Structure 1
C-alpha cells in the first residue's frame, strides 16, 4: 500500500466570469449539438471551480446522449442549469455552518 502525504496546500482561486464562459466553450465545443448561452451559464456558475464546470459539462453531455438515436443527441441550457444547481447543492452540503469547507480528518502538518 502506498501512502502519499502532501505537505503543502496549493490554493487555486475560482475562475472569474470570463474564464467560466471560456471553460464552458472549451468543454462543449460541438455547436451543432448544443443549445446554450455561455454567458448565462458563466453567471449561474459563479463560485464554482473549473473542475466543477468540467463535471457539469460531462454530466450534461451524458444526459444529452441518452437517446438511442445518435442524430437526436443534444445538450441544452436546461440540462446544464440542472447540473449547475446540483453542483451548487453539493458544494453547500459540504460547507460548514460559516460557509467554508469543513475540516477534514487526517494528517495535519505541525
Structure 2
C-alpha cells in the first residue's frame, strides 16, 4: 500500500482526524483525540515506509515473531506498539488493513463508555 491508500483507509474510520502534533514530519491519526496510527513522512520520503500501530501486547509479540518487518514500536511503548516496515517486503494490503483495524479497535476499547457512546453517535 502506498501512503495515500493508507491515509485514506485511516481517515475513513468513524471519528478519525489527522494532525501533526509533534512536528511537520509526523502524521498522526487519532480517533476522538486518541492516537492509533503514526507515520513519519520524512522517513517515508527517504524510502523507509513504515507505520506505527497499537496492538494487544500478546498479539504484538506474535506479529513480531511471525513477520521480520514488524518490530517493537520505534519511539513508542514497546509493549503496546509495533512499527510495520512496508518497504522491506511487501505485506499483503489486507494484512496492513487488518493491523490498522486492530489498532483502531484497541484505542476505542480503551476509551471511557461516554467516549465510546459519542463515537457511536457519529
Q: TM-score, normalised by structure 2?
A: 0.35
Greater gyration radius: 1
Judging by fraction of residues, say which structure has more helix.
1
Judging by fraction of residues, say which structure has more strand.
2
